[in-house]
A = this chain, B = another copy of it.
């Protein structure tokens, strides 16, 4: 291990990746834990059984390796007083890249998942339009579509941190965010066809689930990048994501992207649906409320090492995580290993798409002492992810929505990682 490799990017072991990459020394710390053998010895393994006998052939629908089955969403227990209500959370600590496989995309339901026959489903556009329209699923498949990669996040994600919850891990605290390729019809196309009347300022969207989930969307967003999404990562949207169709509002709180979409009514005023008054409204410390706070904040999260993990010993680790913003693309992610006193720029591993997850990493030489790991995102609009203290000073702790504060993971000298407040 030379001095050059350890040239630090910030205190407490963060290594400057510019000095680490492209010099044939990247894994020097890693190699120390490998067996380094001569060429002959390297090939002198016992041949494993799976190399000696043919395995099963190709299949119609592929499944995961049995060794990867720990990748599961966590779903709360059914609540008899709230049938079908609740959520499941993506296993962020096990995922890499930016796409979330459809089976692991987070869910939030208010009356469970309706089993919709697409041949019987209708989408109505009415209200302040020249010509009310009704569309079948087959009708909609004929329209020009757009495919883009977007994150989706529940506005209640990470809310437990504002309540000061003890413990937890990346999945339980932050697992209500996922990312997929969404393919659908620009809503502007359908609204143009219906003919928006001048007085129309809002679009009231209602789902076909038993909760009749309803949300009011400003006409400007409806005519911008909003889509009626029919496909998710190439296949029809999953039942838990709104099959056969959902509204999709890039960058905005997930609940407003109404699933099982059945009606879009153009109105003069917002409807103030039950779902946007009893929920999804930010009550401030002075008991006034912020309503229709749609865009999700500039945010990042270290997914490894993260809460409830255990570091086996001193040495080189890879810190990795995700960053996203409802108001643009991610421009920069910084990482601190000393609770925010010093910061180093992380490597961006993925593309930096607009309103999508972005993957970052940085090498970390853990010398065995205490550490507090944090990440801080900056987006293309210049927004910088705030501290928890700043969010609480601004809004208080009554509402738990729209929390995008910096997460702190403490590492003890025995290597235990946990959620802390600093």
How many A residues are at the interface, by size bracket?
A: 35 or more
Residues of B within 8 A of A234 (CB): 95-101, 104, 179
Q: Which residue of B lies closest to A361 (CB)?
A: B144
Q: A133 in the interface, Cβ–Cβ < 8 Å? A: yes
Nearest-CB distance from A346 to chain B (Å)?
A: 10
Verify A127–B208 contact, CB threshold 8 A: no
Nearest-CB distance from A61 to chain B (Å)?
A: 5
Residues of B within 8 A of A97 (CB): 147, 181-183, 231, 233-234
CA distance A58 to B189 in the complex (A): 33
CA distance A314 to B244 in the complex (A): 26
Q: A132 in the interface, Cβ–Cβ < 8 Å? A: yes
CA distance A59 to B139 in the complex (A): 31
Q: A278 in the interface, Cβ–Cβ < 8 Å? A: no
Known: A33-B139, A58-B107, A192-B22. Contact between A210 and B145, CB under 8 A? no
A142-163 interface with B by 8 A CB criterion: 142-149
Q: Which of B58, B62, B121 contacts A86 (CB 8 A)?
A: B58
Residues of B within 8 A of A198 (CB): none
CA distance A179 to B209 in the complex (A): 33
Q: Which residue of B lies closest to A237 (CB)?
A: B65
Q: Which of B50, B63, B142, B238 contacts A103 (CB 8 A)?
A: B63
Q: List 8 A-B contacts (CB under 8 A).
A: A34-B135, A36-B134, A38-B132, A58-B108, A97-B183, A98-B234, A99-B234, A104-B235
- The interface of chain A, by Cβ under 8 A from chain B, is 17, 21-31, 33-39, 42-43, 45, 48, 50-68, 71-76, 78, 83-88, 94-105, 107-109, 111-118, 120-122, 124, 126-127, 131-136, 139, 141-149, 179-183, 189-190, 192-193, 195, 208-212, 230-231, 233-236, 238-240, 243-244, 262-263, 316-318, 347, 349-351, 353, 359, 361, 363
